[in-house]
């Protein structure tokens, strides 16, 4: 669905408010679960993401009813796929406890929660070790006031064409003014066809709906495989990434499996775009890789080797992994919370684009073929690492887990 009028947002809040009473309970059903195939497919990724990034999820902000709905969906899907609960007290949920001021005073009790599941490994010894695959289940919620969806989409498209997205505050005022003037001409023409469409939902289809549904697809493929990997697969959909990696921080400090048994963590965040219209230098084979050699050189080598062996390799972009890079991508997603404890990590992303944290980050703009290829690649890396006869070797220095991240 495209936009949502502000008034409809608040009516939906009233209608869905009853869900908050179930925030701390284990879900058993979900109206959104549908039949899917065991293969990682464009069709399944599309149907999952249109559900997960729907306006009814209200932007999935951690601590709100929208995030309760989102995590309930994930838990229901985990149960449907036959995944083993990996959360607290035999559930799929791990409630995080935080005194962070980033949570609003009106947060729903029990509404900030990780979703955790396990696929048990086949080797009687190695099954006690884990390859973790993760994404974040939250986004940034509702925008106030609402904004005209079409105007914002056109403005972001024009600024991207000029080489700088709208969220880049370094864009000179003159450049912004020129882009707005160009957009105004197009919007005036559009207004003759239809009125403005006010939009207040930050749907987060790419950030990180794309990573979230990719993890689901990977989990389904591994769970359906007649031969399971030797090591167990640990699936964690972290909450409150947008509030400072709080869900990943809580999980790594209060793990539901022995932290020392996690041999690697593969993280996906914003893996649904990456085309030339989104990213400077992007394209159908574009993929950014961050952190793959910061803890374990061997893990980075595995990622490269497996990519080269693919029938259609990705063009891996490592520029954002450079020490001192101003975007600090290594420090800005959930993988870092694992790396600080000496767990080898790799972060996969198709990169920041003009729809980042905008109401225009919607399911209709995702490149589902690209997303399918990324999910398939991460699946293959995870299974390969899970079948190694040894853990990926940690050969890089690891600092104080409590220190501030420095890229």
Same domain, 46 and 188: no
Same domain, 254 and 196: no
pLDDT tens digit string along 366-407? 999 999 999 999 999 999 999 999 999 999 999 899 999 999
Same domain, 68 and 194: no
Beta-sheet strands, E only, within 48-108: 84-85, 93-95
In the numeric block, the tokens 């992994």 are attached to: 321
Spatial distance between the Cα atoms of 390 and 7, rounded to a whole number of angstroms: 57
Q: Which pLDDT value is given to residue 170? A: 64
Q: Is residue 401 part of a domain?
A: no
Same domain, 173 and 228: no
Q: Which pLDDT value is given to residue 376? A: 98
Compute the average pLDDT of residues 251-261: 98
Whole domain around residue 195: which residue ranges?
A: 146-201
Same domain, 45 and 73: yes
Same domain, 246 and 152: no
CA atoms within 13 A on the CB side of 42: 6
Average pLDDT over the chain reads 87
Judge whether 197 and 3 are in contact, CB under 8 Å. yes
pLDDT tens digit string along 97-109? 876 778 877 677 7
Q: Is residue 406 part of a domain?
A: no
Whether omega before 76 lies within 30 degrees of 0, making that bond cis, reads no
Same domain, 126 and 154: no
pLDDT tens digit string along 175-185? 767 766 766 66
Number of domains into which the chain is organized: 2
**Greatest pairwise CA separation for the chain in angstroms:** 68
Spatial distance between the Cα atoms of 41 and 49, rounded to a whole number of angstroms: 12
Work out the percent of the chain whose per-residue pLDDT is above 70: 85
Q: Is residue 101 part of a domain?
A: yes
Whether pLDDT at 188 is above 80: no
Compute the average pLDDT of residues 252-272: 98
Same domain, 150 and 173: yes
Q: Which pLDDT value is given to residue 178? A: 72
Q: Is residue 371 part of a domain?
A: yes
Same domain, 121 and 179: no
Same domain, 122 and 159: no
How far apart are the two ends of the chain, measured CA to CA in Å?
39
Q: Which pLDDT value is given to residue 26? A: 37
Same domain, 196 and 186: yes
Spatial distance between the Cα atoms of 344 and 337, rounded to a whole number of angstroms: 11
The lowest-confidence range among 22-36, 77-91, 316-330 is 22-36
Q: Which pLDDT value is given to residue 150? A: 79
Whether pLDDT at 13 is above 50: no
Same domain, 55 and 116: yes
């Amino acid at each position: 669905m495209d936009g949502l009028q502000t008034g409809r947002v608040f009516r939906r809040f009233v209608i869905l408010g009853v869900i908050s009473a179930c925030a701390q309970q284990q879900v058993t059903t979900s109206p959104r679960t549908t039949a899917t195939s065991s293969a990682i497919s464009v069709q399944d990724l599309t149907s999952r993401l249109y559900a997960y990034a729907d306006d009814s999820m209200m932007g999935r902000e951690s601590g709100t009813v929208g995030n309760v709905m989102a995590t309930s969906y994930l838990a229901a899907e985990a149960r449907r796929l036959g995944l083993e609960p990996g959360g607290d007290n035999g559930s799929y949920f791990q409630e995080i406890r935080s005194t962070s001021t980033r949570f609003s005073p009106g947060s729903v009790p029990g509404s900030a929660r990780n979703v955790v599941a396990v696929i048990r490994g086949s080797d009687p010894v190695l099954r006690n070790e884990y390859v973790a695959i993760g994404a974040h289940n939250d986004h940034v919620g509702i925008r106030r006031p609402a904004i005209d969806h079409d105007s914002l989409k056109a403005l972001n498209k024009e600024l991207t064409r000029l080489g700088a997205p709208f969220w880049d505050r370094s864009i000179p005022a003159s450049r912004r003014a020129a882009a707005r003037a160009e957009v105004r001409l197009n919007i005036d023409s559009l207004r003759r066809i239809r009125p403005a469409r006010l939009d207040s939902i930050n749907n987060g289809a790419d950030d990180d709906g794309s990573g979230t549904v990719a993890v689901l697809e990977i989990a389904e493929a591994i769970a359906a495989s007649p031969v399971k990997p030797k090591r167990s697969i640990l699936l964690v959909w972290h909450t409150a990434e947008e509030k400072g990696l709080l869900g990943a921080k809580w999980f790594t400090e209060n793990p539901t499996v022995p932290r020392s048994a996690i041999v690697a963590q593969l993280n996906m965040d914003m893996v649904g775009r990456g085309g030339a219209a989104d990213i400077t230098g992007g394209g159908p084979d574009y993929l950014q890789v961050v952190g793959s050699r910061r803890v374990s050189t061997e893990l980075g080598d595995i990622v490269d080797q497996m990519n080269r062996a693919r029938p259609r390799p990705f063009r891996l972009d490592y520029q954002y992994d450079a020490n001192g890079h101003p975007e600090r991508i290594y420090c800005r997603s959930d993988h870092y919370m694992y790396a600080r404890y000496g767990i080898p990590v790799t972060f996969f992303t198709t990169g920041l684009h003009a729809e980042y944290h905008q109401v225009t980050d919607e399911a209709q703009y995702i490149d589902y073929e690209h997303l399918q290829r990324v999910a398939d690649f991460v699946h293959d890396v995870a299974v390969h690492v899970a079948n190694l006869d040894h853990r990926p070797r940690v050969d890089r220095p690891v600092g104080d887990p409590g220190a501030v991240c420095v890229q």
